[in-house]
Structure 1
């Protein structure tokens, strides 16, 4: 509970400090610069995430295609050419 109180006090203090800094034109420039840097950082992280996601998707598609080809090759190599592995009942 004590940690929660300190957290809330720190959060409130940060908002008050940001409010006072934002009143000054130089403070606005500093906050705008910080905001621009944060936006640039998040854009870079987002681009890297999407690039890595595309690599994983491409790898998964390649593996899926290879597995499908292996299954097709294995099913095509049966002696009778029939893909049904269960024995047929006698007539």
Structure 2
């Protein structure tokens, strides 16, 4: 139970800190860049998954 409480408090503090950082110009720039990199990564994962799925379908 203590671990769950610590996890919840840590998550809440992380959100508060991210909100504060996002209020600055440098923070917004950081989160914009992070968002862009995460979108590129997720797009690459989806492309790889679809490619592998098509490859497996062709060989079946």
Same fold (TM over 0.5): yes
**TM bracket (short chain):** over 0.9
1:43 — aligned with what? 43
TM-score (normalised: structure 2) = 0.96
- Alpha-carbon shift at residue 51 of structure 1 (Å): 0.1
> Between Structure 1 and Structure 2, whose CA radius of gyration is higher?
1
Listed as ranges, the gaps of 5+ residues in structure 1 are: 61-91
Q: Deviations over 1:29-59 (max 9, x none)?
A: 0011011111100000000000000000111
CA distance in 1, matches of 2:59, 2:29: 45
Higher relative contact order (CA 8 A, sep 6+): 2
- Alpha-carbon shift at residue 12 of structure 1 (Å): 0.2
List, as ranges, runs of 4+ consecutive aligned residues in structure 1 with deviation greater than 2 Å. none
TM-score (normalised: structure 1) = 0.64
Matches within 5 A, 1:1-91: 1-60=1-60
Task: Supply the RMSD in Å over aligned alpha carbons.
Answer: 0.5
CA distance in 1, matches of 2:6, 2:18: 18
Listed as ranges, the gaps of 5+ residues in structure 2 are: none
